[in-house]
Amino acid sequence: MADSRIRLQKAIAESGVTSRRKAEKLIVDGKVKVNGITVTTLGTKVSKNDEIEVNGIKLEKEEPVYFMFYKPREVISSVKDEKDRKVVLDFFSEVKERIFPIGRLDYQSSGLLLLTNDGEFANVVMHPRHGIEKVYIVKVKGIPHKRELFQMKKGVREGRDLLKALRWKVLSTDAKQKTAILEITLGEGKNRHIRRMMDVLGYPVLKIKREKYGLLTLDGLHPGEYRPLTPKEVKQMWSLGTKNVK
């Protein structure tokens, strides 16, 4: 008979509490109990009947859910905000599962954001080494020369980070307003990646909208709206993330 048990860190990730990587650290740090006994050995297997506690809180197994959200500007990509600003979960009042955003779009940026309660899925989709491409439409102040934009592929140094773009395209320019609209594709997403990169090049960002995440697009959604991912879309994102592991 096949072993129906799974690794403890996977069970924790599937509960939506955290990613598998962070679950492993919690186990090693002695923060996890199985049936009342502290477990610190990675690779320990558990069944659906085992009682798991993380930091003293019993895990309640939820069915995994996956959503695509069109984040408006001036909304925080978080489950709560200490300054009491609007957060993405304010738009999901009818969803009973404990979902969280995968990665971030900064406060002034809009566009496609994924939310889930599946920590392992979040880790696969978000981690830079999995290389899932994200496409942004970016309006900048000034009209960059192509030789300056080519620098993005080589990398732009800002602080300790080397900020790169996989591809770029000039969609339009406005000589009168002295602005340009660019399409920029990233394979990773450091904090305020595009804004910092364009600041170094001398072309401050006026607006950013994420239009594509892997194979997913915003088609059919308006700002503030969301929809569940289809089983096919979830499978495609898993496939993209796992096949791109470097």
Distance CA 232, CA 182 (A): 30
Contacts of 217-223 with CB under 8 Å at 24 or more apart are 217/112, 218/68, 218/70, 218/111, 218/112, 221/68, 221/69, 221/70, 222/70, 223/70, 223/71, 223/72, 223/73, 223/110
Active site residues: 106
Q: Which two tokens stand for residue 201?
A: 């090049």
Write down the residue that tokens 């924790």 correspond to.
Answer: 12
Residue 20 near residue 120 (C-beta atoms within 8 A) = yes
Give strand pairing partners of 94. Answer: none
How far is 225 from 91, CA to CA, in rounded Å? 8
Mind giving me the DSSP string for 74-95? S-BSSS--TT---BGGGG-TT-
Q: Do you know the residue count of the chain? A: 246
Find out whether 179 and 143 touch, Cβ atoms under 8 Å.
yes
Amino acid letter, 56: G
